[in-house]
Structure formats: structure tokens, C-alpha cells
Amino acid sequence: MKRRFYVAGACLLLISFYQTVVSANNYQSDMVSENGVDRMRGIIKKINFVVKGSRMTPNPEGWEEYDGSIYSGSRGYGWLTDLAGNGRDRGQYAAIELHDGTITSPAEAGRLELSNMQGAHFDNVPMVFRIDLPDGWYRVTCASVNPGGPLPVVDQRSFKCRSHDVVFAGANFGAPLAVKGNFLIEGTGLVEVTDAHLRIVVGDPAYAGWSWRHSGTWYQGWVRWIVKDHIYAKGVSNKLKRVVDEGFHSIRMNSLIIEKAEPPSVDDRIVFRDYFNRENSDDLNQGKIEQHRWIEAVHEGDMKIDLYQTSIRYRAPGSGTNITRLYQDRTSPESGVIRYSTRVSLSMGVGMRISSGRQEAGIFILADPSGPQEFNSTFIGVLLNVGGSGQAGGLVYRVGDGKNGYRTNTIIPDSVLPYSMSEGEYEIVADHDVERDTINSFRVNGIEVIGKLTSEERSQRIDRGLFGIRGAIEDESDISQQQFYWYYRVEIVG
């Protein structure tokens, strides 16, 4: 049996997962007891994701049953795809493993909402859950587990729960989280609602799944394969060969808690932001006012760009080089310290079908007002190189000379970073001091790396310019690579 496990960037992933567990435990401290029943301050909704039809577990007091049917305005929440009947009730005594290795059950833990789950699928397609809320700040708590024994074929699943610029549960940064089926994943985070509703994305598009092939003699294991496991194989050939490539287990969503929260104490002034909180579309600007519309600048190739599950998705059409920028037709502020930030997930393929190639993803700033080009702007981002020539992975920092080259073209290799570059999620943040015309902070996944650049390298060509997103994919195979940008923000922080 062949398994694909994500070990690159393990240190950062463990830190991220520890933070997720701690945040979940902190959520418990916000609860108060009234007449022996735990209730949460400021609670808006407690939603139990139940299976429609046959049920074994009663709905716990204080929770709303939700059967997975498609979003409706009258209910005020729901999946944007119909998942009614697409779930399981494992029962209140099925085993659950906690982060410290403790084995418990929904009944023993006093959490019957963990018995039920929704979200079965055979592809790694993130799902979107919409809930209508007044604009403001909220605390969101997600939980995911598949109680009981091991999952069939390969006991591995992935889970991530997010919205806007916040990951509530799962791997906050780096490689996707891959765990056993009955391992409890939960977490909480603060998020701002800005469009009278919140779209919560469940799933991690950077997760490549698992692969498997029968390793015994040809006549063994046919009964189990025919009765059950063959459903994970795609195509007649793989079913006959008993090969699964690629395999995905369900994205389990068990429960969701929404609470009203106090806004964080920040003095930052938003210049521009886009959470891509819109319907799937080839039109990136649907619902956007004229002065906030994105403009596409194609530099090479034929990159496909669309709105997908509250992200902007870049897709390479096949082999070759593809470089595209999205930008705002406005110049950056004339004074202060300006912070530019984004989050991006990188995917090189699925199962055993991993592409050979190279990706660069990140932000560009200070481009000439006449229009952004490779040599008239500054690019700050990440590099992932799988099977290609050159540097395997790292961080990229380039300052154009305004002509036909670069003043600075620096790659910080991941060998000097506390993590290795792999398929996964990266948050890129850069601060530009307009008066001094220098970059004074460059952070990726919370790690400051500005000290790896000289003062001369940090100096910029111009002090104001256009800004946006730059994605580059060099594909050496016919397996499509993808990038998913979750937000873009420009703010004055000093």
C-alpha cells in the first residue's frame, strides 16, 4: 500500500496545529454554565450537521439540526451545493481520538454533535457554507471527525475550515493536514463579516489525496474490493488492476458555532481589500464597483483565471510558461508605511499524478502607472519547484530596473528557512516605507526574513505605483498546476 504523506514543512505545521488545538481549548473557557447547561456568551448559532433520514443519535440541547440541504434565504444558512442525505451518523459511542492520543466518544465527551457529519465526495473540491449575518466581528468554531474505526483502503483524510483571511481549523500555514479518520480537528478564530453574510470554505485544494494499489497475490482480496473498495478507483482499467489514483475521503463537517465578538484593537487604515466573497464565475469583477475592479495583464502563456469557492484561481492550461498579473488601476498611498498582504495555496497535482514544474506566487507593488510589467515593479512571493531545474524552493524578491532587467533578483532558499517549500498555503506580507522608499518588513507564514536582504536590496525604484497579484506557472507536463488566492489587502500601518 502506497501512501502520500505531507512531511515538508513539518515543524511549521506542528506549530500551526498546536495553535489550532490551543484555540479550541480557549473557546471552552468562554463558556458559562446556566442551570447545568453550558451556554456561550454572545452565541448566534450552534449548528449540528446531521444526516437526513436514518438517525442513531439525538440532537443535543441548544443545537439546530441541519440536514445539508442547499442554502435558502428563509433559513439564513446552508451549503451552496445540496448535501442533503450526503452524510453519516456514526452513533454516540463511536471512538474519537483527541490531539493528546486520548480515545473517547461523543457520549463520553458530552458532545453528541460530533456523532454526525456531512460532506462526502470523491474529488478534492472545497465546499462553501453560507450564513447570513449583519456586518461586524464574529468568533467561528469548526469541528471535524469521523468517529469509529479506520477509513477504508487508506486511513487518511484532510480538513481545513476558513473564511476571508482566517483559518479556523486545520493547517494554518504550510503543507495540508493529513490525519486518521477518527482524529478530531477543531479550532476557532475571529473574522469580520463585510457583505451581510459569511462564506465558510471547507477543504484544502492543496491536498493531493492518497494513492493505493493491491500488493498481494492476484486472487486475494477480491470480495472486499468488489463489495466496497472499488468505488474509490476511477475508470475500468484501475478497477480491474485494483489501483486507486487519486483517492479522497470525505470532507467531514460535524458542527459550527457562530458568536458575536468584539473587534480587535487595531489602528490600521484599509486602502483596498478583496476577500473574493462572491459566486463562482469567469468574471472576476462581478458585483465590484468600478473603482475596485481587477485588470488582467498577461505577460506570457494562457493562464486561466476565475473566481472559485471564494478564491481567485490561477490554472495553467498545460505544458509551457504562464505569467499573469491582476492589478488595481490606482496608485499606492503617498505617505506612511503601507502593508500589502495575501494568502495563496499551491497545488502541483493529485495522487501519483504530480506535475514537474515551477510556481511563483505572491504580490507585486510599485509598478509604473502605465501598466505593470516584469521589469517595472517589485515582486515579493514564494517559489515552489518540483522536478524542475534550478532552486528547489524558497522566497522570491525582485526589484525591476524600469527597463529590461532587475536591480535586485534574490531567491532566499528554503534551506535557510524554518520550513521547506511544498504544496500548501503561504501568507505573504510586505511593508513599504514611502518616505524612505524601502521595504522594511518581509514575512512569509509569520516568519520575518527582511534581515536576509541588504539595505541596498531593500531600496525601491519609485515610491508609489500600481499593486496586485502575480502568478507564474512553468509546467513541464500535461498535469494542471493551480494557485488559489484567498484575499488581497492594502493598508496603512504607520
Per-residue confidence in pLDDT tens, the chain, 494 aa:
333 333 334 343 333 434 343 333 333 334 333 332 333 458 899 999 999 877 899 999 999 999 999 999 999 999 999 999 888 999 999 999 999 999 999 999 999 999 999 986 667 889 999 999 999 999 999 999 999 989 999 999 999 999 999 999 999 999 999 999 999 999 999 999 999 999 999 999 999 999 999 998 999 999 999 999 999 999 999 999 999 998 999 889 999 999 999 998 877 799 999 999 999 999 999 888 777 899 999 888 889 999 999 999 999 887 789 999 999 999 999 999 999 999 999 999 888 887 778 999 999 999 999 999 999 999 999 999 987 666 679 999 999 999 999 999 999 999 999 999 999 999 999 999 999 999 999 999 999 999 999 999 999 999 999 999 999 999 877 778 999 999 999 999 99
- Using DSSP, state whether 4 is helix, strand or coil: coil
Superfamily of domain 10-209+248-260: Galactose-binding lectin (2.60.120.430)
CA 171 to mean position of chain CA atoms = 8
| Structural contact between residues 171 and 162, judged by C-beta atoms closer than 8 angstroms | no
Residues in Cβ contact with 22 at an 8 Å cutoff, skipping those fewer than 6 apart: none
Question: What is the pLDDT at residue 40?
Answer: 46
Question: What is the pLDDT at residue 380?
Answer: 98
Greatest pairwise CA separation for the chain in angstroms: 74
Please state, in angstroms and rounded to a whole number, the distance separating the CA atoms of residues 271 and 268.
9
- Fold identical between 10-209+248-260 and 269-492? yes
Q: Give this prediction's pTM.
A: 0.90
- Using DSSP, state whether 321 is helix, strand or coil: strand
Please state, in angstroms and rounded to a whole number, the distance separating the CA atoms of residues 148 and 186.
17
Nearest Cα to Cα of residue 81 among 194, 202, 170: 202
- Using DSSP, state whether 29 is helix, strand or coil: helix
CA 17 to mean position of chain CA atoms = 14
SS3 content of the chain, % helix, strand, coil (to 5): 10, 45, 45
Side-chain-side CA neighbours of residue 204 (13 Å): 31
Question: What is the pLDDT at residue 5?
Answer: 37
Tell whether the torsion through CA atoms of 487, 490, 492 and 494 is positive or negative.
positive
**How long, in residues, is the chain?**
494
Third-level CATH fold of 269-492? Jelly Rolls (2.60.120)
Residues in Cβ contact with 122 at an 8 Å cutoff, skipping those fewer than 6 apart: 231, 232, 234, 248
| Structural contact between residues 63 and 46, judged by C-beta atoms closer than 8 angstroms | yes
Q: How far does the chain reach from its first CA to its final CA, in angstroms?
A: 55
Domain coordinates in residue numbering, the chain: 10-209+248-260, 269-492
Pairing label, strands 77-79, 161-163: unpaired
Cis before residue 474, ω within 30 degrees of 0?
A: no
Nearest Cα to Cα of residue 125 among 488, 487, 482: 482
Q: Which DSSP letter does residue 220 get? A: S
